Structure 1
């Protein structure tokens, strides 16, 4: 029997949009880099590396470019940080947006996104049409937390607590979805049901199974 949930809380990139990891892999193949090289750079010193500093707004895009170059060079290949930033904004998944609307009909919905102070708005894209398209999705949430504005990023447990406080819900009555396992652990430790997103179809199937909501 399905649990009764007060809120569904979502990550954005890699959940509502195609995964930036796909774009990373295409770039790596084009540049002759080892597969998952960019993710390897991002995984080193994950709480205080260039990526973490950018998502907390501790550095700007130009500083990120310099820092990421140095971090990648330390692993044997120099990758401009500005190239990585150009790979972040994936294509929208309309079926996931439809699922969000269904969830909104059953309770509250929130979004916690680790983003960077680049592009137009929370979506980090510089394309006007795409920014408007993604802004319409962000407007559906009852509450949005952006790491670049708050100065705290996932997996800091405080960011999940702040979302529950803003939505006025019990963590044990929430579902949290993210494409990164490291970001799911704090939510799970708080009592949330968690779903690791690996694809659009898997997301929809798992969310329907957990909540009992008709999503298809």
Structure 2
């Protein structure tokens, strides 16, 4: 019996920052997936991990990321990457969230950084307002930058369940990264990987047993 649906934010309810990374790499003549490669190297201790746990400032992240990029042969500042993080709202996903909220508890677990406006790291007044409206739908939002813990640490999923007052086996969890879905599945959650939104929504509909779009 499903009692809660828990959502990642970036790449699920908004377009993926990986799309912005790819455009940036193309524009700058960088190797494909260069940015993701940096973020995947020493994933628990690199600049990205430190920033998402608020263990470094934006200025420090800018410098640390630049060093990691230079070690791989290219000059990329951390601040430039932060500018790419705020995606566009996916209306169909938001509609699904609203329909789930009408029947279940809904929560959000987001790996984010203390940049931009609010949990969604939005930039610009209009986008910030749109993101804030979506964030207001959740019963609870867990932000890595506020609690000093980030996915895929199993504790962050356990915290979400405890906060919502549900067991992992009564939850559906959506994320765009397999590495973040694995620990959720190991805890007993039904997991959905969001690559193509339409496919993910079909899987969500099957999991909850009612139309979500």
Q: When the two structures are superposed, what TM-score results if normalisation uses the length of structure 2?
A: 0.98
Residues 173, 192 of structure 1: 8 Å contact kept = yes
The 4+ residue runs of structure 1 with deviation greater than 2 A are none
Residues 102, 213 of structure 1: 8 Å contact kept = no
| Partner SS state of residue 106, structure 1 | coil
Residues 12, 176 of structure 2: 8 Å contact kept = yes
Is 1:93 aligned with 2:80?
A: no
How is 1:72-91 mapped onto 2 (pairs within 5 angstroms)?
Answer: 72-91=69-88
Aligned with residue 201 of structure 2, among 185, 201, 204? 204
Number of aligned residue pairs: 213
Give the deviation of 1:31 after TM superposition.
0.3
The aligned counterpart of 1:117 is 114
Q: Distance in 2 between matches of 1:215 and 1:33?
A: 39
The aligned counterpart of 1:53 is 50
Q: Distance in 2 between matches of 1:106 and 1:170?
A: 17
The aligned counterpart of 1:169 is 166
Q: Distance in 2 between matches of 1:189 and 1:7?
A: 17
The aligned counterpart of 2:12 is 15
Gaps of 5+ in 2: none
Give the deviation of 1:126 after TM superposition.
2.7
Give the deviation of 1:20 after TM superposition.
0.4
Q: Distance in 2 between matches of 1:69 and 1:87?
A: 15
Aligned with residue 124 of structure 2, among 99, 124, 127? 127
Q: CA RMSD in A?
A: 0.8
Q: Distance in 2 between matches of 1:173 and 1:145?
A: 18
Give the deviation of 1:205 after TM superposition.
1.3
Gaps of 5+ in 1: none
